[in-house]
Amino acid sequence: MSSNIAEASLDFLCVGLNHETSPLEIRDALVMNEAEVGRAIEALRGRAGAEEAIVLSTCNRTEIYARGARVSDLPLFVNDLLREIKGMDLGARGHRLYAYRDPESVRHLFRVACGLNSQVLGEPQIVGQVKDALTLAARSGGSGPVTERLLDAALRCAKRARTETSIGRGPISSVYAAVSLASKVLGSLGQRRALLVGSGEMAGRSICHLMDSGVSQFTIAARNRERAEALASRAGSAVVRVVSLEAIPVVLPGADIVVSATASPGFVLHEPAVRGAMKIRKNRPLLLIDLAVPRDIDPAAARLPNVFLHDLDALAAIVAQSLEQRRAEVPGVELIVDEEVTRFMRWYRSLMLKPTVTAFRSHFERIAQEELERHRARFRPEDQPAAESLTRSIVQKLLHRPTTRLNRAGEDGNTGIRRIDAVRDLFGIEREEGTDEDRDTR
């Protein structure tokens, strides 16, 4: 018997690096744009002979997924490909690259989609990044029926993780925690106004999170007006105005939320300015978020009525509590990943099971029909329908038990695979490439 377990394998490999294996400067240097992803997929399909290929490239990971690659050392091929496209040599043997073969490659992808393999546990952005990777693969000719089904399964796995567990709940960054606090202190943020002091990365993250929470009116107070205006241009439909740092006392009374994140060596917002603003506001609640080190906001402002001041230490405590809660959800998410990997691999095994069962039955039905034709002249015309019915009945009874066992083979892992291979070998059944069953993956 020529048992061919490799034929039953998905032949799906993942090669890549992430925040656990490579420093930020390497990860940043390897982030691919759409054109570069297209080049990578073209090389994987053409030179490496992959049937399907997908590239997932973000600031935290660059991973290449390939099905059916015909190169003996895919990590080395990927290493050379990254040097060719991005100009970075990771070593002659790609020593910084990890590699997974199915089913571990499938498991890895599902864990990535669920946020288990993210720098911030359970972060939600990875779901959109996986969707984008599939879209780019489709545009570049890299996706196919198996990888499309695979990424659909990964996204379903991620959705289950977020609805059946709390892996995606609670603030996961200081900025996220600040916005969560704003909702708790002020209620709905739809009609609130925000003042951002500074125009750097923290201010950029803050405006994104605040917009996601419904804030649509912003003032940016910054020393670098050009950079502040660039930040304002990213605010889409929000109403944004840019002022100087000196104008803070003037614009402060109109703000409900103040997020300050500058590199100033001293306070940029002093207690007297806050006290004056609260008089104009008639003591309506004011939330002050200080994301700077050293601090931007005078701590004395917290003693004023209806002024709520939170600095990085306070926000870090909230984030730590949230992450602890997320870590407690990891075992539940891992169980979901196990179930979805099993479900997907069972589906894949069914791709070769269906044509085998069909060919097995056709083999016996064809022999029965040939023998019936050979001896048809021995029957009177009026007896031929009965002979045909009897022949069909015998074949059906003979095939019932083995067909039932074969149909269960997809659920029996490698044992089932060996059973299918044995049937092929015993009855000379060759797998036909490109059958309807193989193509019908939806």
Give the three-state DSSP class for 263: coil
Catalytic residue among 14, 59, 157, 208: 59
In degrees, rounded to 5, the angle at the alpha carbon of residue 412 between the alpha carbons of residues 399 and 420 is: 45
Q: Confirm or deny that 16 is annotated as ligand binding.
A: no
Residue 250 lies inside a defined structural domain of this protein:
yes
- Are 98 and 153 found together in one domain? yes
Q: Confirm or deny that 38 is annotated as ligand binding.
A: no
Contact between 225 and 244 under an 8 Å Cβ cutoff? The reply is yes
Q: Is the peptide bond before 385 cis (omega within 30 degrees of 0)?
A: no
Give the three-state DSSP class for 196: strand
CA dist., res. 114 & res. 129, Å (int)? 12
Distances (CA, A) of 12 to 6, 53, 65, 76, 298: 11, 9, 7, 16, 57
Residue 391 lies inside a defined structural domain of this protein:
yes
Task: Compute CA 144 distance to the chain's CA centroid, rounded to the nearest angstrom.
Answer: 18
- Are 96 and 216 found together in one domain? no
Number of domains in the chain: 3
- Are 338 and 365 found together in one domain? no
Kindly report the CATH number assigned to the domain that includes residue 334: 3.30.460.30
DSSP string of 411-428, one letter each residue:
GSHHHHHHHHHHHHHHHT
CA dist., res. 359 & res. 261, Å (int)? 69
Residue 318 lies inside a defined structural domain of this protein:
no
Nearest to 438 by CA among 51, 62, 37: 51
User: Among residues 246, 275, 305, which one ends one of the domains?
Assistant: 305
Q: Confirm or deny that 123 is annotated as ligand binding.
A: yes
Global pTM reads 0.61
- Beta strands (DSSP E) in 166-294 are 193-197, 217-221, 239-243, 257-260, 286-290
Q: Give pLDDT tens digits for 177-230.
A: 888 888 888 888 888 999 999 998 888 888 888 888 889 899 999 999 999 998
Residue 310 lies inside a defined structural domain of this protein:
no
- Are 148 and 44 found together in one domain? yes
- Are 118 and 35 found together in one domain? yes
Nearest to 442 by CA among 136, 152, 156: 152
Q: Which residue has the tokens 């690659």?
A: 69
Enclosing H/E stretch for 104: helix 104-114
Contact between 99 and 115 under an 8 Å Cβ cutoff? The reply is no
Query: Which pLDDT score is estimated for 421?
Result: 66
Residue 359 lies inside a defined structural domain of this protein:
yes
**Burial class, 377, CB count within 10 angstroms (exposed 0-12 / middle 13-18 / buried 19+):** exposed
Query: Which pLDDT score is estimated for 416?
Result: 59
Question: How many CA atoms are closer than 13 Å to the CA of 8, on its beta-carbon side?
Answer: 26
One-letter amino acid at 195 equals L
Query: Which pLDDT score is estimated for 188?
Result: 86
Query: Which pLDDT score is estimated for 417?
Result: 57
User: Among residues 346, 377, 401, which one ends one of the domains?
Assistant: 346
- Are 293 and 418 found together in one domain? no
- Are 160 and 18 found together in one domain? yes
Residue 185 lies inside a defined structural domain of this protein:
yes
- Are 18 and 154 found together in one domain? yes
Nearest to 407 by CA among 354, 361, 363, 351: 354
CA dist., res. 228 & res. 243, Å (int)? 9
Query: Which pLDDT score is estimated for 309?
Result: 93
Q: Confirm or deny that 201 is annotated as ligand binding.
A: yes
Q: Which residues contact 211 (CB under 8 A, 6 or more apart)?
A: 235, 236, 238
- Are 26 and 142 found together in one domain? yes
Gyration radius of the chain over CA positions: 31
Contact between 9 and 102 under an 8 Å Cβ cutoff? The reply is yes
Nearest to 64 by CA among 283, 216, 48: 48
Residue 314 lies inside a defined structural domain of this protein:
no
Residues of the chain with pLDDT below 70 are 1-9, 92-95, 171-172, 351-354, 406-421, 429-442
- Are 100 and 141 found together in one domain? yes
Q: Confirm or deny that 253 is annotated as ligand binding.
A: no
Q: Confirm or deny that 199 is annotated as ligand binding.
A: yes
Residue 312 lies inside a defined structural domain of this protein:
no
User: Among residues 278, 305, 332, which one ends one of the domains?
Assistant: 305
- Are 180 and 299 found together in one domain? yes
Give the three-state DSSP class for 17: strand
CA dist., res. 157 & res. 150, Å (int)? 10
Q: Confirm or deny that 9 is annotated as ligand binding.
A: no
- Are 119 and 23 found together in one domain? yes
Q: Confirm or deny that 125 is annotated as ligand binding.
A: yes
Q: Which residue has the tokens 């009945």?
A: 393
Q: Give residue 285's domain range.
A: 174-305
Decide if 208 is catalytic: no
Longest dimension (CA), the chain: 114
Q: Confirm or deny that 124 is annotated as ligand binding.
A: yes
Kindly report the CATH number assigned to the domain that includes residue 226: 3.40.50.720
